[in-house]
């Protein structure tokens, strides 16, 4: 395939950006593996804070509604979000089991989607790396299904770390493939 100068410049720029993002993902992933409990706690805390912040916006939004039932419904929604956020923030250890179930579902689904994308893109440079990433995500999900519930305390950080490392390497390798495709033409 022939590329014009603008396309070559854009691929080289994007390649450098993806390589940088990939390296950052690998570093964060390594930290998550070394300190999985901290990452799990931080994850739970962020989710809880997101619920609390959302509750404030929902509460403010409630007063833009016309009619008492709509206002009351939105205030009730805001209270539910606030209570959920406070429970998560104050019980991050207990939240780990619920989050682990969600992450297991994520890794199983992401693995299937990545494998399907790699299969659909077979023959495209880097599709094999995407397939490997999908297979590993699927394997991680299956391992934690088998070891449930004992893995809940450290699973979140470990799962996030492994996925970040492999996703980071995937970005780096895909960017290198794209760059070499441009340089080979």
Q: How large is the average pLDDT for residues 37-61? A: 91
DSSP 24-59: HHHHHHHHHHHSHHHHHHHHHHHHHHHHHHHHHHHH
Cβ neighbours of residue 152 under 8 Å, at least 6 residues apart?
A: 96, 97, 100
Residue 3 pLDDT > 70, yes or no?
no
Radius of gyration of the chain (CA): 21
Residue 43 pLDDT > 70, yes or no?
yes
Can you give the pLDDT at residue 99? 79
pLDDT bracket for residue 179 (50, 70, 90): confident
Can you give the pLDDT at residue 60? 93
Can you give the pLDDT at residue 185? 62
Question: Are 138 and 104 in contact, with CB atoms under 8 Å apart?
Answer: no
| Segment 111-164, tens digit of pLDDT | 999 899 888 888 878 888 889 989 998 998 898 889 888 777 787 788 789 889
Question: Are 19 and 144 in contact, with CB atoms under 8 Å apart?
Answer: no
Share of the chain above pLDDT 70, in %: 97
d(C-alpha 180, C-alpha 80), whole Å: 52
Residue 67 pLDDT > 80, yes or no?
no
Domain ranges in the chain are 5-184
Question: Are 60 and 82 in contact, with CB atoms under 8 Å apart?
Answer: no
d(C-alpha 158, C-alpha 113), whole Å: 21
Can you give the pLDDT at residue 92? 81
The residue with greater pLDDT, 11 or 75, is: 75
> What is the phi-psi region of residue 124: left when phi exceeds 0, alpha when psi lies from -120 to 50, beta otherwise?
beta
d(C-alpha 115, C-alpha 53), whole Å: 36
Q: How large is the average pLDDT for residues 81-106? A: 84
Q: How large is the average pLDDT for residues 161-169? A: 91
């Amino acid at each position: 395939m022939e590329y014009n100068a603008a396309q070559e410049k854009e691929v080289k720029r994007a390649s450098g950006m993806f390589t940088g993002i990939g390296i950052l993902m690998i570093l964060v992933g390594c930290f998550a593996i070394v300190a999985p409990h901290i990452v799990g706690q931080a994850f739970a805390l962020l989710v809880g804070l997101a619920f609390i912040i959302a509750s404030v916006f929902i509460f403010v939004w409630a007063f833009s509604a016309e009619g008492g039932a709509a206002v009351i419904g939105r205030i009730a929604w805001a209270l539910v979000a606030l209570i959920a956020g406070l429970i998560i923030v104050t019980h991050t250890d207990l939240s780990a089991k619920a989050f682990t179930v969600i992450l297991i579902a994520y890794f199983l689904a992401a693995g299937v989607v990545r494998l399907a994308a790699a299969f659909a893109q077979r023959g495209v440079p880097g599709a094999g790396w995407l397939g490997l990433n999908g297979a590993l995500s699927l394997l991680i999900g299956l391992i934690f299904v088998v070891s449930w519930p004992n893995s809940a305390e450290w699973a979140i950080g470990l799962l996030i770390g492994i996925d970040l490392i492999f996703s980071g390497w995937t970005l780096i390798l895909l960017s290198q493939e794209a760059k070499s495709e441009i340089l080979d033409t």
